[in-house]
Structure 1
Amino acid sequence: MRKIIIIALFFLIGGMSFAQDTETDNTASYKKRVLETNEVDFLMSYYTQDGTHAAVSGGIGTEKLTDITPTIVVAIPLNSDDVLTVDAGISAYSSASSSNINPFDSSQPASPYSDSSGASASDVWTGGTISYAHSSDSRNHIVEGHLSVASEYDYFSIGFGGSYTHLFNEKNTEISIKANVFLDTWNPQYPIELRPGFTNSDIVGTGTYNPFKYQAFNDESRNSYSVSISFSQILTKNLQASVFVDFVQQQGLLSTPHQRVYFMDQPDFFIDDFQLADDVERLPDSRFKIPIGMRLNYFLNERLTFRTYYRFYNDDWGVNSHTASIEVPFKISDKFTVYPVYRFYTQTAADYFAPYEMHLSTQEFYTSDYDLSKFHSHQYGFGFNYTDIFTAMHIWKFGLKSIDFRYGYYDRSDGLTANIFSAGFKFLLD
């Protein structure tokens, strides 16, 4: 995988040299700018979910969670050819599930089906990305590079990458290659009962509580490397198709340290109604993923469009999945568009998954995280878009170019349900 990354970066650097050194400006005194003026996007999403298979409590318990994510994206044209983009946001969540990393810090009896009041009940993720893109004079070659940073209470991540895009055949054909590297460091938050010095006189069970398989992880890093290749083609004036393939290699701590596992061949111990962990989730330290997908967009007429998407996914943990979606934008007027959305997803279980108390202590790898189980899901939604390229509406010096609103309802076969609301406002700076 490292060789793939090196090869990809070689092509990126080569493409950059080609774009900058071999092309000349054949225009006269005027060249259309890639981005005419500063653009500012304000994005906001609200997500809520509930279910009964929390991974923190070994595949049982509440999965109730809410998350609010405000984000701002600023695109700045540096000159006719170059654009600098800054993307910064936060994600503030409240989770009944993660609060049960320590379920015994509440005045209420501990239970996997109720939340605790501890520090892990809520947190804020912060992240930002800065990117730089250069377009050749012909606009047939685009080189982009970016750097990102993200932080949460239990991990820190830094990422970098780049892409090269080549358009030809009168811009009817596009080929793109992207490469990314993410270097993450965990600050593991183990279940409270597995931490050194834990004692509690209210433990109930046969014998003495002794999680003999548990030991802290030695490697607290997780590195991800990816290469993506995509091809897009305008087939007719009404039909456009694109295909892509990704190669993703992950190495390091791929287990989630605060997710409990219970063995069927070990005695059970409780404090109140909460079962003490036999161990934490343990998964291999490498994972290779290959998603392959395609998009097909058909413009029926000036008012109605069909956008379809399909993806097949495979990894070496035994997960295979299929994703299919359709979106049908209908243009009500020159400025207003509505679009219904439907998405279907199905996957096989990972080799290392088993439900609550179905693992054996003799196994090397195990998880009861239902994200790695066999399931299928449906997502239904709709969207609304307002676009005014002339930015007639202004807020101070910002002209409103577009408003986009979406709602989706998610229903998974294991009982997890979710609602997501998202909105975006694009402004041009006068």
Structure 2
Amino acid sequence: MEVKQAEVVVVINGDVKLQKMNFFKKIGSLVLLFLTATGYAQQDQDSVKTYKKRVLETTEVDFLTSYYSQDGDNAAVSGGLGTEELTDITGTFVVAIPLNDDDVLTIDAGVSAYTSASSSNVDPFDGAQPADPFVASSGASSSDTWANITGAYSHSSDDRNTIVTGKLSVSSEYDYFSVGFGGGLTKLFNEKNTEVSINANVYLDTWNSIYPTELRPFASGANGLANGFFSNKTITGNANYDPVFEKFTDESRNSYTLGFGFSQILGKNLQGSLALDLVKQQGLLSTPFQRVYFADVADSFIENFQLADAIEQLPDSRFKIAAGGRLNWFVNETIVVRSYYRYYNDDWGIRSHTANVELPIKLSDKFTVYPSYRFYEQSAADYFKGYEEALSTDTFYTSDYDLSEYSANQFGVGISYTDIFTTMHIWKLGLKSIDVKFYKYDRDTTFSSSIITAGFKFVMD
């Protein structure tokens, strides 16, 4: 239609201008005008063919922060008995940069700083007060900082129906270092109503194993009681303290993940998606500083702290599979129902179910509130033993209650502010949205936690 319209306009204008010319001049001029019009029409067609909407119009900057706290009475560091008190503050910047019409580079950098009464008891004897599993030690292990940086690159095809991604990440903490890399492919079909994706990632971790203080003198079969650590301490209970302890010889852990996704617009107001995730882990899957107490070994104490009989021992391989689905129902312009379910299974014997529902309610053009509820339950791992339930003859054992049988409820509420015109500015950044969320989580054990998160999205002017 654009070509025909251009030709008609040109010919009509030409006829008006050429009415008083002689016949041959008219013919020559008309030919010239026709060729000119055809050239313009071809340029119009070329411009239509080459025009593409940019994947990302301008640089976007997200700042995310959270404050997390937890408590409980089943600390794995002290063998399933002791305080689980922990607080964590996290800050993350995510910068998405359009490299051209098709390519986007995303940099994700975050730092997390925590203080933990539980991990402080890796060495419970370095504080000023008597050692106690329910009291935090003031030593160096009571706090730490985790840092991560991830770079991701995505390329979209001209028709925007194919997206290829790749990423590289590095993480570090006081007792481990991790490098990860991976990529993915997304295809859209059926006028973008159907989406299929696949992604794969590899994470290569190295532990810097830190062991409970009282076990270190017994490394390599040494006579630990002759070590200086015990020279100024009095052992009560079983004075002939003789733990089972050997250092891990392999401190590497590799994880391989493969994920499949399928999303479909089912109707004007309904959208659904399915996901399947496979994870294979190999290497050191035990946590070196988590104690275990045996039921068939007499208890030994220094002050109020029970000395470890051993450290957690778990298999050096694990295979996980998770399958889930989402269903989003747009009830009307005000209310949306978002539902989610996932089933999880691994070869350590854990089976779990997760169900979640969120109800965003649009209060105005700028404000949305969204209450949510999440239910979770799982069976215990084959190797889980509670406090003083493991036997010294067992091959594998852990008193980490994250691997125990339990159910949990989580209630949450969030509020978001959106301003598509970015009327508020900080330097050259326009504030596009603010999201604040609060969640309260409770297990049917003594464990509970709460977290408040905030996210700020900026766009570059």
- Measured against the shorter chain, the TM-score band is over 0.9
Counterpart for residue 236 of structure 2: 204
Counterpart for residue 337 of structure 1: 368
- For the aligned residues, what is the CA RMSD? 1.0
* Structure 1 segments (4+ residues) deviating >4 Å: none
Kindly indicate whether residue 454 of structure 2 is the aligned counterpart of residue 423 of structure 1. yes
Normalised by the length of structure 1, the TM-score is: 0.93
Counterpart for residue 410 of structure 2: 379
Kindly indicate whether residue 127 of structure 2 is the aligned counterpart of residue 144 of structure 1. no
Distance 2:215 2:321 in 1: 36
Distance 1:28 1:394 in 2: 37
* Matching residue within 257, 280, 297 for 2:288: 257
The sequence identity of aligned pairs, in percent, is 66
* Matching residue within 265, 269, 283 for 1:234: 265
Q: Secondary structure at the match of 1:195?
A: helix
Q: Secondary structure at the match of 2:278?
A: strand
Q: Secondary structure at the match of 2:370?
A: strand
Kindly indicate whether residue 328 of structure 2 is the aligned counterpart of residue 307 of structure 1. no
* Matching residue within 367, 370, 393 for 1:362: 393
Deviation at residue 340 of structure 1 after TM alignment: 0.2
AA partner of residue 177 (structure 1): I
Deviation at residue 27 of structure 1 after TM alignment: 4.3
Kindly indicate whether residue 148 of structure 2 is the aligned counterpart of residue 117 of structure 1. no
Deviations 1:25-48 (A, max 9, x none): 994353110000000000000000
Q: How is 1:320-335 mapped onto 2 (pairs within 5 angstroms)?
A: 320-335=351-366
Kindly indicate whether residue 416 of structure 2 is the aligned counterpart of residue 395 of structure 1. no
Higher helix share goes to which structure? Answer: 2
Deviation at residue 206 of structure 1 after TM alignment: 2.5
Counterpart for residue 11 of structure 1: none
Distance 2:177 2:238 in 1: 40
* Matching residue within 111, 127, 139 for 1:90: 111
Deviations 1:164-210 (A, max 9, x none): 00001000000000000000000011000011344243111234111
Indicate conservation of the 8 Å contact 2:70/2:86, yes or no: yes
Indicate conservation of the 8 Å contact 2:107/2:151, yes or no: yes
Distance 1:107 1:151 in 2: 30
Higher relative contact order (CA 8 A, sep 6+): 1
Deviation at residue 151 of structure 1 after TM alignment: 0.2
Deviation at residue 354 of structure 1 after TM alignment: 1.1
Counterpart for residue 17 of structure 1: none
Kindly indicate whether residue 327 of structure 2 is the aligned counterpart of residue 296 of structure 1. yes
* Matching residue within 137, 152, 156 for 1:131: 152
* Matching residue within 326, 345, 351 for 2:382: 351
Aligned length: 405
Q: How is 1:5-84 mapped onto 2 (pairs within 5 angstroms)?
A: 27-84=48-105
AA partner of residue 122 (structure 1): S
Normalised by the length of structure 2, the TM-score is: 0.87
* Matching residue within 392, 398, 409 for 2:440: 409
Indicate conservation of the 8 Å contact 2:351/2:378, yes or no: yes
AA partner of residue 235 (structure 2): I
Indicate conservation of the 8 Å contact 2:120/2:140, yes or no: yes
What runs of 5+ residues in structure 1 fail to find an aligned partner? Answer: 1-24
Q: Secondary structure at the match of 2:454?
A: strand
AA partner of residue 210 (structure 1): D
Kindly indicate whether residue 248 of structure 2 is the aligned counterpart of residue 217 of structure 1. yes
Note closer, same or farther for the CA distance 1:26–1:100 as it changes in structure 2 (3 Å cut): farther
Distance 2:47 2:175 in 1: 53
Deviation at residue 393 of structure 1 after TM alignment: 1.2
Deviation at residue 396 of structure 1 after TM alignment: 1.5
Deviation at residue 105 of structure 1 after TM alignment: 0.5
Deviation at residue 357 of structure 1 after TM alignment: 0.3
* Matching residue within 205, 209, 231 for 1:184: 205
Counterpart for residue 169 of structure 1: 190
Distance 1:319 1:308 in 2: 24
Q: Secondary structure at the match of 2:402?
A: helix
Q: Secondary structure at the match of 2:295?
A: coil
AA partner of residue 177 (structure 2): F
Deviations 1:45-104 (A, max 9, x none): 000000000000000000000000000000000000000000000000000000000000
AA partner of residue 205 (structure 1): G
AA partner of residue 130 (structure 1): G
Indicate conservation of the 8 Å contact 2:239/2:300, yes or no: no
Counterpart for residue 349 of structure 2: 318
Deviations 1:388-425 (A, max 9, x none): 11111111211000000000000011111111000000
